[in-house]
Amino acid sequence: MVKASSKLYAVIGDPIAHSLSPLMQNWMIGQFGLNAVYVAFHIRKPQLEACLQAVRTLEIGGLNVTVPHKEAVLPFVDTKSVDVELLQAANTIKNCNGQLQAHVTDPFGFTESLGDNRDRCNGASVVLFGAGGAARSVCYALSRLKIARLVIGDVVADKARELQSLAINRLNMPDVSLFSPADPNFSDLISDAGIIINTTAVGMHPDTDRAVMSDFSCISKHHFVYDVIYNPQTTRLLQQAKKHGATVQNGLDMLIYQGLESLRIFSGEHLTLSPAQLSELHKIMNRELGIYE
């Protein structure tokens, strides 16, 4: 029940109507018995400074930030976590008595989402599709998971080189190189990798017939293929990888765990989801997406 004393949390983005965050966060707020409510605001870039000032004025307790504002909000906060300083992006802002503290929970969300597959990362060779904001967070997580080699590919070569520089110079990753799907050695690159990760929007609803790869014959049962997309539940990349025997995973748990970490930051409480709660949340979110298990 919403009360006059209830904390207000929100997510901002452009667009924002598609966001699952209010559904997810209000469900978790109810499960944890928090005195709070979570809403979404459609904020365009020219409105960002006024939006952050309104967070102070209205005493909004916390803000999640989604595309395209994760970098653009930084000039309007008061403090930044070490991770935010490193990645130069934030997706979580806590209001502490008018002081806005910027955090990033995406790397945590990715790491936690791996579950038992986390052990696959130690010493692994990883092929990473994409070099945007999601790729930076995944790259940061991989640097802490002790992978041996990272190979990055993006349609924008400059972005790929920027991520390579970040990985080498700031994340201290020992072996980072670039690739192009047009490279004649591309199939060998995939075959030799243990993990393949897609951080791009290729294959996302409604363009579900697309994939970052066209030849899947180089994927086998020794691969782990992760797609940050969760709508559709099984992208073409994951469908084809599964046909070739690979272990596959979509990005729904990454979304859930980064949201859970944000709620911990907002509330200051150590909140955990039981396996039964996680399963129920999967069903609720997939139902919202039109996916019925």
H helix runs in the chain, sequence order:
21-32, 48-57, 82-87, 106-113, 133-144, 157-169, 186-192, 236-243, 252-267, 275-288
With tokens 């209001």, the residue in question is 95
The one-letter code for the residue type at 45 is K
Which tokens is 61 given? Answer: 């307790």
Torsion angle in degrees (nearest 10) through CA of 183, 189, 190, 196: -100
- 225, 194 contact by CB (below 8 A): no
The one-letter code for the residue type at 81 is S
- 107, 81 contact by CB (below 8 A): no
Helices 21-32, 252-267: axis angle to 10 degrees equals 50
3-state secondary structure (DSSP) of residue 192: helix
Which tokens is 286 given? Answer: 């997939």
- Which residues are marked as active site? 70
- 208, 232 contact by CB (below 8 A): yes
Measure the CA–CA gap between 212 and 51, rounded to whole angstroms.
36
3-state secondary structure (DSSP) of residue 75: helix
Which tokens is 170 given? Answer: 């700031």
- 36, 6 contact by CB (below 8 A): yes
3-state secondary structure (DSSP) of residue 36: strand
